[in-house]
Structure 1
């Protein structure tokens, strides 16, 4: 079972990462727990502006996007695992299938440009 703690955000005033967590966010599944720290900055879903009419940067996938952003800048898990967690959380939050598959395929195809976690410290 997938669980994500409540999410509280505030605006940062920075156009590149406009949101910051007011409280830590915890993701838990059968494999383990990941905590995104208070103050972590995110752009939510990194969707090109031209696609915002069908995939805005905010929606029921916000929890997945925040945790995915965090996993991309920390060496906690591999890129493949980070992307799988992204998909799992979207499924748990009942994001429509076409949206979650589209977003998952986009991070698989283009996410390598943003992935900073070189060597996972645990899987």
Structure 2
């Protein structure tokens, strides 16, 4: 497993756009599945401060941004400001992901990816609050960690 570089520290409530720069390499190509999820047709690489951090393989299944349908007026799963970060977030939450990171790091990565795409500060705060509030159940199910684990 490849740990996050020691020089990088995600800070939960620091919204400084220059703090950590998350970008992505690759074209987003996917196929819709019958279960409402999507399968990547090509790999996507997450780049952290100019260094390739991890690559999401072709074939990975994601639902992109897991926003309830009643919130799609605000942000939907295909919002270009969030779609790459959401896919990477799903991958970091997946038990087969070879990257060694905490749930907090994964959630901060999603939030910080919005800074490079121009998402507003309020949207970044709300997306982050949503995954911190509701993502724990899925994280524990994937990692086998007990309730209350980060």
Q: TM-score per shorter chain, which class?
A: 0.7 to 0.9
Offset of residue 8 of structure 1: 2.2
Aligned residue in 2 for 1:23: 42
Moved over 3 A (4+): none
Offset of residue 32 of structure 1: 5.5
Over the residues paired in the alignment, what is the CA RMSD in angstroms? 1.9
Gaps of 5+ in 2: 1-20, 146-150
| CA distance 1:4–1:38, change in 2 (3 Å) | same
TM-score normalised by structure 1 residue count: 0.85
TM-score normalised by structure 2 residue count: 0.71
| CA distance 1:118–1:32, change in 2 (3 Å) | farther
Gaps of 5+ in 1: none
**Deviation sequence 1:85-123 (CA, Å, 0-9, x none):** 11111111111222121111000011011112458xxxx
Paired residues, what number? Answer: 118
Query: How is 1:1-123 mapped onto 2 (pairs within 5 angstroms)?
Result: 1-17=21-37, 19-30=38-49, 33-59=53-79, 60-73=81-94, 74=97, 76=99, 77-115=101-139, 116-117=142-143
Query: 1 CA distance for matches of 2:93 and 2:121?
Result: 23
SS of alignment partner, residue 64 of structure 1: helix
